[in-house]
Chains A and B, each alone.
Chain A
Amino acid sequence: GQQVMQIPQYQHVQEGEDFTTYCNSSTTLSNIQWYKQRPGGHPVFLIQLVKSGEVKKQKRLTFQFGEAKKNSSLHITATQTTDVGTYFCAGPGNDYKLSFGAGTTVTVRA
């Protein structure tokens, strides 16, 4: 079945620095979604990418969908303490149910 893998599993970032987390699928995806879960919270939908090579921005967050629609990335610039949490990517399987990656857990050093 379809698998979605994320790297790195943990990201420790100095406040103000940039970082990128990556998502890779074993199969071509019709779309890719990103979610954020704050510590003690629940996953919250951030964005969906549909088109090959698509790039979307939300303030300091930049999401990209690969040309082959098998990978995606999330880039955060000027990391802030509010960026702490776990970021999940998810892609629909053949039956259109979402398959979630294991997530990248981000901590920030002030």
Chain B
Amino acid sequence: ETGVTQTPRHLVMGMTNKKSLKCEQHLGHNAMYWYKQSAKKPLELMFVYSLEERVENNSVPSRFSPECPNSSHLFLHLHTLQPEDSALYLCASSQEGFLNYGYTFGSGTRLTVV
């Protein structure tokens, strides 16, 4: 375990379904992130939460909706996804400060949209 736990590990959903991805960090970090990793593409930053406040939304389609109820938990709500949304979704956490001290990533959720 990395200290960042993501569930589920694998998810298959239809385009009309609604599902949620969950991330929990046990490291006392104050920032959490959602990244998308598609095959042969760089890591794409989707959302950033710092001290439970969303500070970044990188032009992500509205069918992705994040939620951060507290500093330890992060959700990504999914609805009416498209097949091109199939990817590995990674949650990460860090301790924000003047210098980043490294991100801790979860194991990811492998999402397949059918």
Q: Which residues of A contact B (CB under 8 A)?
A: 30-31, 33, 35, 41-45, 48, 50, 88, 90, 92, 95-98, 100-103
Q: Which residues of B contact A (CB under 8 A)?
A: 2, 33, 41-43, 45, 48, 55-56, 88, 90, 96-108
Q: Within 8 Å CB of A102, what residues of B?
A: 41-42
The answer to whether A88 touches B102 (Cβ under 8 A) is: no
Count CB-based A-B contacts (< 8 Å): 52
Q: What residue of chain A has the Cβ atom nearest to residue B33's Cβ?
A: A97
A43 and B93 CA atoms in complex are apart in Å by 12
A88 and B103 CA atoms in complex are apart in Å by 12
The answer to whether A44 touches B100 (Cβ under 8 A) is: no
A96 and B100 CA atoms in complex are apart in Å by 7
Q: Within 8 Å CB of A95, what residues of B?
A: 55-56
Q: Within 8 Å CB of B99, what residues of A?
A: 30-31, 48, 50, 92
Q: Within 8 Å CB of A101, what residues of B?
A: 42
Q: Within 8 Å CB of A103, what residues of B?
A: 42
Given A42-B105, A45-B103, A97-B33: 7 more A-B contacts, CB < 8 Å: A33-B102, A45-B104, A88-B43, A90-B103, A96-B96, A96-B97, A98-B100
Tell me whether chain A's interface is mostly helix, strand or loop, or mixed: loop
Q: What residue of chain B has the Cβ atom nearest to residue A41's Cβ?
A: B107
The answer to whether A42 touches B102 (Cβ under 8 A) is: no
Residue from the list A30, A50, A92, A100 in contact with B42, Cβ < 8 A:
A100
The answer to whether A45 touches B102 (Cβ under 8 A) is: yes
Q: Within 8 Å CB of A35, what residues of B?
A: 103
Chain A min CB distance to B61 (Å): 20
The answer to whether B102 touches A48 (Cβ under 8 A) is: yes
Given known contacts A42-B90, A97-B48, A33 and B100 CB-to-CB distance under 8 angstroms: yes
A61 and B47 CA atoms in complex are apart in Å by 32
Chain A min CB distance to B42 (Å): 4
